[in-house]
Amino acid sequence: MEYRTLGNTDLQLSAITYGAFAIGGTMWGGNEKKDSIEAIHASLDNGVTSLDTAPFYGFGLSEELIAEALKGKDRTKVQILTKFGLVWDGSNAGKGAHFFDIRDNGQNLSVYEYSSKANIIKEVEESLKRLNTDYIDLLQQHWPDVTTPIDETMEAMETLIRQGKIRAAGVSNHNLELLKEASKTLVPASNQVAYSMLNRAIETELVPYSVENNIGIIAYSPIERGLLSGKYFQNETLKSDDHRNGYFGQFDLDKMKTLLKTLAPIAAEKNATLAQLVLRWTTLQKGVTVVLAGARNAEQAISNAQAIDIDLSADELHAINSQLVDFKK
């Protein structure tokens, strides 16, 4: 595994970081607890030291599963990354900006973006309890909140750093304008953003600015929630409540198939899967510090971790990049 320094901090994160969205079950058609915990254990056993989660993932379940998986482990050798700023019914209900509505476990819930100082302090205490830890390595604002001044949000994280409850502060889903505004109060350690072969929008503005200002980029959805693995072109089916039924519809699948045909022989030569090749490509892109890779069982977790071992030459990277067009419909 490769380990990389995150932005302007002393945090060393594994280049492949475990993404714990799916194990929360919400929007992913449920979860299997045993498989989820085994996936985390397999990640740790194969060099992955960083785990990225959020209160929204399973409405607390993802954080609780991480806590259970880490029982008996050396906490100092694991970096826990979590978030704040998405609240739902029963948790500051109706405050902030309405984000979306969702049905989960038979309940209709309204989710809001809310990053007031009071809410951040509240959410961190709740996360610390669910995670069964006394500090968070990286706390990230999950989504921007137009109802709260950015300086209030960043000042709250400064306070948490001074208190020792978090080691570093980051943001997520921030465009260049918001990132600059946040930096006036506290330069974020990182910005977690969507980035993949199919979605390279950050390369134009965010990457140059982040590199120049030593702000780490945490890339999420590198495999586009499984689409770039190729298995959904092989009669793979999704549960009816899996959000990917709609998510995949944004892409031109014919162009996708052409890309995968180009990638397949490169992956085969490396004795790798398409997903592993895609993950490794992502770790090698300019400005990217770490790449999030979700896994719902041990087999997937091991495969993700082993992606870092793939050697891609400059010529091979160029060959791949030459095939990357606009894949959106």
Rounded to 5°, angle at Cα 131 from 81 and 291:
25
Q: Which listed residue (57, 112, 114, 232) is catalytic?
A: 57
Angle between helices 274-283 and 253-269 (to 10 degrees): 90
222 exposure class (CB count in 10 Å sphere: 0-12, 13-18, 19+): buried
Cβ-in-10-Å burial (0-12, 13-18, 19+) of 326 comes to exposed
- Residues near 204 by Cβ (< 8 Å), separated by ≥ 6? none
Closest CA to 62 of 142, 131, 108, 120: 131
The tokens describing 82, both together, are 């979590």
Active site residue 57: yes
Nearest CA to 188 out of 213, 219, 160, 164 is that of 213
Whole-number Å distance between alpha carbons of 161 and 168: 7
Q: Which residues are catalytic?
A: 57
